[in-house]
Amino acid sequence: MNSLNNVQFQFSIKNLENLSGIKAHTIRIWEKRYGLLSPDRTGTNIRTYDTNDLQKLLNIALLYNKGYKISKIAELSEKELITKVRDEIAKSDSNDHYLSSLKLAMLNYDQTLFEHTYTRLVAERSFREIFLEVLIPLLEEVGLLWQTDSITPAHEHFLSNLIKQKLHLNIERVQRQNPEHTDRVFVLFLPSNEIHELGLLYLHFELTLRGYQTIYLGQSVPRVSLRSLIKIHPEITYVSFFTVKPEPDAIEEYLEDFRRKLLNESNNELWLLGRGTEPIQGKEMHPRIVLFNKIEELLNKV
């Protein structure tokens, strides 16, 4: 919203489209008709934009998506634009401002902006609401931005690690209480070579908060190492996310091996989430292997 810092980052018009949701063609029209942005141009006449351009476009997009006419937005001064956006956020409790602010923090590697934005969220919402309503949509958008080359892996890692810090802090807080439900233990793990653990960490937080006994194993856990848990805990619900591993053509083999080695001689179950499960969605599964589309679905089953 206000000027963030002096870090300069160059964006193409396609980057602006991906980051703001406003089509490149529309951005060009707004530039020509209303002078809303002032891009630099390369020697070959290609538009390039800086952080201030992106910041302004995100504010314009917020008002435009709320029904303001672009001609009216164009009449606002920079100060009036910021004030109007703040007024809209205050009225509607919109997530748009927070998403824009966190995206800008990521693009500028600006930890201070991230912390200020998160602090404002904490003042208004529970950690559950922050994660489900703001951070998950943010991470989904970041994934799309990475696929379209609008950001680099370094941006994604910067943001993910900051979110991971918040998850660890909240998990530590709820772990201070003793488990209320000890008849079944939840073992949270990711398959070998799988490192995307934010969703798994959030489930660790939720299950611990609800009084369940959890064992968090984290990234890249070989199946064979899970067998040692059976001797200690008679009833286990294994919980995992498939994001990039196992490979799509290896999922059914992975699950068959998991069933034979870890589910056959017990009442244990395997609960799965993640976009990597898409190849097996709709297929008939072993009764002790359960697929979920969303974290909320899994938590409703607990």
C-alpha triplet 164, 170, 176: angle, nearest 5°:
135
d(CA 300, CA 290): 13
pLDDT at 77 over 50: yes
DSSP string covering 9-60? --B-HHHHHHHH---HHHHHHHHHHH-----EE-TT--EEB-HHHHHHHHHH
The length of the chain in residues reads 302
Adjacent-strand bridge partners of 218:
189
The DSSP secondary-structure symbol of 226 reads G
Task: Rank 139-143, 159-163, 174-178, 179-183 by mean pLDDT and report only the highest.
Answer: 159-163
CA distances from residue 279 to 30, 246, 283 in whole angstroms, order as listed: 42, 11, 9
Give every strand in the sheet of 181-189, ordered side by side: 212-218, 181-189, 236-241, 269-273, 289-291
* pLDDT digits 0-9 by tens, 243-286: 889 999 999 999 999 999 999 877 899 999 998 999 999 888 89
Q: Give the start-to-end residue ranges of the domains of the chain.
A: 13-170, 179-301
d(CA 68, CA 71): 8
d(CA 117, CA 37): 25
Indicate whether this model's pTM tops 0.85: no
Please tell me the CATH superfamily of domain 179-301, with its number: Cobalamin-binding domain (3.40.50.280)
d(CA 267, CA 59): 53
Joined together, the tokens standing for residue 28 give 């060009």
Q: Which of 161, 62, 63 is nearest to 109 (CA)?
A: 161
C-alpha triplet 267, 231, 257: angle, nearest 5°:
60
Q: Which of 47, 56, 44 is nearest to 19 (CA)?
A: 56
- Class for the domain spanning 13-170: mainly alpha
Bond from prior residue into 137 cis (ω within 30 degrees of 0): no
Mean pLDDT in residue range 60-69:
89
Task: Rank 46-50, 141-145, 294-298 by mean pLDDT and report only the highest.
Answer: 294-298
